[in-house]
Structure 1
Amino acid sequence: MAFPKRKNIQQRERQLLVVVGSQNPVKINCTDSSFHKVFEEHHFVVQGLNVNSEVSEQPFGDAETYRGAYNRAKNAKNTFPEADYWVGIEGGVDEMGEDLIAYAWVVIIDQQGNTGKSKTSTFFLPKAISNLIKGGMELGDADDQVFNRENSKQGNGAVGILTKSLVNRQEYYEQAVILALIPFVNESIY
């Protein structure tokens, strides 16, 4: 995959390159939107890169899900070290009694090695989806089966389907990306 080279902009400001450790358009778009909202004074080019999360296809529990997000950011940095920021977003599930909850972790690393971390809000999954996941299926595939869809994980995902698009997946991840950027806009206290 060819990444754009950084170039000077007429206002003497260069574009900053952000590499997302995924080619999922939802993860790329939420990162793009978040960086532009947080750093209005900068110009960003956001690109996705297919990297290994080094965790299960369906991460289970906070530790594995966080590790997947961290590994995506780290592996994106190792693969394309010329970027300015690397972002890992990993969705996971966890048990809450007999139920399953869904959420995602976000990890952002900058050129200096600083790290920002955040987690989305959580929501409970319906039994039909939970049972499929407990049987070894990934959340996106379970959504597709239960709701008769295709590739929902690259679209609105479970959160969008279950809220009837009142919370879309991009917005859901976007808030967590913005929260993970807190250390980068408050460097003096982090």
Structure 2
Amino acid sequence: MKVIIGSENPAKVAAVKNAFNMTGVELLAIDVPSNVSAQPFSDEETIEGAINRATAALEQGDGEIGIGLEGGVHMTKHGLFLCNWGALAEPGYPPLIAGGARIPLPDEIAGKLLAGRELGPVMDEYTKKKNIRKNEGAIGIFSNGQIDRSEMFTHLTKLLVGQYEYRKGNGKNL
């Protein structure tokens, strides 16, 4: 089975490798656009980005499955939270969707995002590191290293793989 990952981000690629840890699976990472804002600002927009990545990966990568993973933020009455969504696309079926971990962002980070900045560069400035989004991510920083971005997306991808296996094993159209 050939699985196309709709991103070359190392944290996302590692997550898909972890979730599809089985024989007979070929993984290919390609850079495809999410066709949403650089900083998705709602669950809906983040889901749309994941679906767009999964669909584009499937179409452009000549595989049997396309995986799209997207990180974003979502405003609640309790503040601005990290959100992350994934989608699995396969021909002839609607995309499977799963969501993952959420934690609130500190006010100083949230304020910069609400002012129009993107989380990745804000986190690089905040931590004085480079490419936080390709490594531990904001989730890794604000969970004090308990969960990193790859682990977060691995959990999400396992939810997608489980739904896929269920659909295949039971003939259900999830």
Normalising by structure 1, we get a TM-score of 0.84
| Equivalent AA in structure 1 for residue 15 of structure 2 | C
Q: Choose from 33, 36, 46 the match for 2:18.
A: 33
Q: Give the letter aligned to residue 28 of structure 1.
A: V
Structure 1: runs of 5 or more not aligned: 1-15
Task: Compute the RMSD of aligned alpha carbons.
Answer: 1.4
CA–CA distance in structure 1, aligned partners of residues 30 and 126 of structure 2:
30
CA deviation after TM superposition for structure 1 residue 114, in Å = 4.9
Q: Residue 52 of structure 1 contacts residue 72 of structure 1 at CA under 8 Å; is this kept in 2? A: yes
Q: Could you tell me how far apart the structure 2 residues matched to 1:51 and 1:23 are?
A: 9
**Runs (5+) with no aligned partner, structure 2:** none
**Higher RCO (CA < 8 A, seq sep 6+):** 2
The whole-number CA distance in structure 2 between the counterparts of 1:84 and 1:75 is 12
Q: For 2:147, give the aligned amino acid.
A: V
Where 2:129 maps in the other structure, the secondary structure is coil
Q: Which residue of 2 aligns with 1:43?
A: 24
User: Number of residues paired by the alignment?
Assistant: 170
Distance 1:47 1:131 in 2: 37
Q: Deviations over 1:12-68 (max 9, x none)?
A: xxxx211111110110110111011xxx4x322212111111100000111111000
Residue from 30, 33, 41 that aligns with 1:60? 41
Larger Rg: 1 or 2? 1
In the other structure, the counterpart of 2:71 is 91
Aligned to 1:13: none
Per the TM alignment, residue 98 of structure 1 is displaced from its structure 2 partner at its CA by: 6.1
**1:168-187 Cα distance to aligned partner (Å, 9 max, x none):** 11111111111112332112
Distance 1:96 1:183 in 2: 28
Task: Quote the sequence identity (%).
Answer: 27
Residue 171, structure 1, aligned to residue 156, structure 2:
no
How far apart, in 2, do the equivalents of 1:183 and 1:165 lie? 28
Q: Residue 60 of structure 1 aligns to which amino acid in structure 2?
A: F
Say whether the 8 Å CA contact 1:115–1:183 is kept in structure 2. no
1:109 aligned partner: 89
8 Å contact 1:22–1:50 — kept in the other structure?
yes
Q: Which residue of 2 aligns with 1:18?
A: 3
- How far apart in 2 are the matches of 1:78 and 1:184? 18
Would the aligned equivalents of 1:128 and 1:146 in 2 still touch at CA under 8 Å? no
- How does the TM-score come out when normalised to structure 2? 0.92
**Residue 140 (1) aligns with residue 120 (2):** yes
